[in-house]
Amino acid sequence: MPLTDAAIKKAKPVKLFDGGGLFLLVTPEGGRRWRLKYRFDGKEKLLALGVYPEVPLTLARTRAEDARRLLAEGVDPSDARRAAKAARAERAANSFEVVAQEWTDKQRPAWPVGYHAKIVRRLEVNLYPWIGALPMDAVTAPVLLACARRVESRGAIDVAR
């Protein structure tokens, strides 16, 4: 029988199964964690889908269905999640802000005293809030032009240049 929100809220420490391998693990401390039990390459595995109530029943079912879709394609959902996490970390390591900070640190010895702080401050005020988190391959001419126009609109023509 499928789970309901009322049954989830009343649950004592136990595993409540929803079907298709999806279950809610209720701990003695009262924690409620969504898990998906599946088999891949002949081995039983568990996939964490979130914590109730941050992940409601409908979202847990959607995440379980997405994982089952990956299994049908011959992909281990745990490996797919690990690969996605590594890709996010790679993109974060190559964000505009990280690359700009590396560049200013590298240029610091060649710049006059005080110039480094001035450039860093300009980046912090004019670019980081809008494009700091973007991966470098997403920083295109139109994106930079929009930033320059934003700076120009407040009257800082030299900085925009």
Amino acid at 81: R
Verify that 86 and 138 share a domain, yes or no: no
Verify that 54 and 24 share a domain, yes or no: yes
Report the DSSP beta bridge partners of residue 131.
none
Low-confidence ranges of the chain (pLDDT < 50): none
Distance CA 148, CA 160 (A): 5
Verify that 49 and 84 share a domain, yes or no: yes
| Structure tokens, 145 | 């032009």
Quote the pLDDT of residue 118: 93
- Cβ atoms of 144 and 136 within 8 Å: the answer is no
- Cβ atoms of 51 and 31 within 8 Å: the answer is yes
Distance CA 56, CA 51 (A): 8
Domain membership of residue 155 as a residue range = 96-160
Verify that 69 and 137 share a domain, yes or no: no
pTM, to two decimals: 0.65
Please report, for the domain that includes residue 32, its CATH number. Answer: 3.30.160.390
Distance CA 47, CA 58 (A): 17
Distance CA 142, CA 87 (A): 25
Domain edge (last residue) among 52, 72, 91? 91
Amino acid at 24: L
Write out pLDDT tens, residues 62-108.
999 999 999 999 999 999 999 999 988 887 788 999 999 999 999 99
Verify that 66 and 122 share a domain, yes or no: no
Verify that 39 and 52 share a domain, yes or no: yes
Distance CA 128, CA 147 (A): 10
CB under 8 Å to 28, separation ≥6 — which residues?
13
Verify that 23 and 65 share a domain, yes or no: yes
Verify that 76 and 124 share a domain, yes or no: no
Distance CA 101, CA 93 (A): 11
Q: Whole-number mean pLDDT of the chain?
A: 92
DSSP 3-state of 141: helix
Please report, for the domain that includes residue 141, its CATH number. Answer: 1.10.150.130
